[in-house]
Each structure stands twice: as structure tokens, then as C-alpha cells.
Amino acid sequence: MRVLVVEDDAELGDSLRRALADAGMLVDLCGDGTEAEFLGVTETYDAAVLDLGLPGIDGVTLLRHWREQGAAYPVLVLTARTRWGDKRAAFEAGADDYLTKPFLHDEVVMRLRVLQRRAYGRAEPVIAVGGLRLDTAGQRFTLGGRPLALTAQEHRILEYLMHRKGQPVSRAELAEHVYARDLDPDSNTLDVLIGRIRRKLGTPLIHTERGRGWRLAAPDDGDDPAA
């Protein structure tokens, strides 16, 4: 899960970035409203955490611009402003959730996971494919009822494939959601990581979609014998 954090308080932004990274998320931190406005529509995010009082452009205006330009990912507003008028303005501009400071880092993490799950149209907190299960709230994978040990990168890849289960996911799409900026999606890094995950899974759950990337599905659901 790739998240844009827009926060001009450097200390707070840094602690938030560490908390989200510890929770396995890939974080871009931005302290300037104008730069954030650009990033929010040019990069691919699964969610954003947005402060309202920002240098350059106000958070509500920034959010309205994101939505006008088609940014559809969930946005959690995180602000010191507690008045109803501020909340209403944020929701009217396109916010999905609103949390006031002070806050618990764990609560931000949990709300982001719920927002992501909802963004993929899921109500149930557990996603299952074959014997593989992902508890999206606790971010734990199990395979045949036993914990599955994955590195942070492997976890992000498999998590994304789980959210998109049954659908083909292209190389570029996967790279955008699991890598930080500036990594070449054409390198064979993804193939190496997919190979490692396949070995850990044992059963063929990740099917190769020729020319289109990969698709996560139960073994009897796959139509590609080469996968």
C-alpha cells in the first residue's frame, strides 16, 4: 500500500512516516501544498493523509483540485481543526475520513487499511484465495492456517494481488503500488520477488498472464498451465 502523507510539521510528518513504514506501507512525505497538489495527481497512491493548514495552498482547496483532476484514492484528513465547519468543508471537497490531532498512530494505520479495503469494494476484513488468507486489519498472512513469513516488499506485492484477486495486474500497475518513486518497473526485480513469493506459497496461486502481468487465483481457477 502506497500512501502520500502531506504534513508541514516536520517532526510530526517524520513520526507519521515511520509509523506507517513500520506498518508495511510505502510512504511519500510532502510538506508543501503546491508540491503535494502535483504529486497527488501524477503519482499512483492507494491513499493519502492530508493536513489542512499548509504552506502554498490550503488542504481543502488542494483536495478539491485532486478530485477535479480525477484522483480517486481515499483521503484521510488529519488536522488540529475540530470545528464542524472545517469538517464539513473537507468532506464536501472529497475527504473520506477526518481525524483530529492529537491522534494515535495506530488509529491512522487502521483507518488507512479500512479505507483501502473499502476502496477495493470489500466489506469483510479477511480476503481468502485457496488456502491463503489475509487479515487486512492486522495485516497478517496465513497459508493453510499457519503464519506466512514475508519480507516487507513481498508482503506489499502479495497484499496488492490479494486486493485485486481474480483480476490481471500489470507489471506497471504492480510497480506503482509497491515501489517508491524512481524505481524502474522494467527491471527484473518484480520477477525475482514474484518467484520468491511463489516458492513460499508452494501451491500455484500466482498465475502468469502472458503480456498482461499476473493474477492471483486459486489453483483450479487458473487457466494458464505455465503459471
Residues whose CB is less than 8 angstroms from the CB of residue 155 and which lie 6 or more positions away in sequence, other chains included? 24, 139, 141
Report the 10 Å Cβ neighbour count for 184: 9
The one segment of 37-45, 49-57, 138-146, 183-191 that binds Ca ion by CB under 5 A: 49-57
The one segment of 46-54, 95-103, 134-142, 211-219 that binds Ca ion by CB under 5 A: 46-54
8 binds Ca ion (CB under 5 A): yes
53 binds Ca ion (CB under 5 A): yes
58 binds Ca ion (CB under 5 A): no
Q: How far apart are the first and last CA of the chain?
A: 25
**Least Å from the CB of residue 53 to Ca ion:** 4
3 state SS of 75: strand
d(C-alpha 75, C-alpha 64), whole Å: 11
**Least Å from the CB of residue 193 to Ca ion:** 37
The one segment of 5-13, 29-37, 160-168, 193-201 that binds Ca ion by CB under 5 A: 5-13
Between the CA of residue 40 and those of 26, 62, 81, 194, what are the distances in Å?
Answer: 15, 9, 22, 28
From 28, 37, 46, 51, residue interacting with Ca ion (rule: CB under 5 A): 51
Please, which of residues 131-170 interact with Ca ion by CB under 5 A?
A: none
Number of residues that bind Ca ion (CB under 5 A): 3
Between the CA of residue 51 and those of 84, 105, 183, what are the distances in Å?
Answer: 16, 15, 27
- Contact positions toward Ca ion, by CB under 5 A? 8, 51, 53
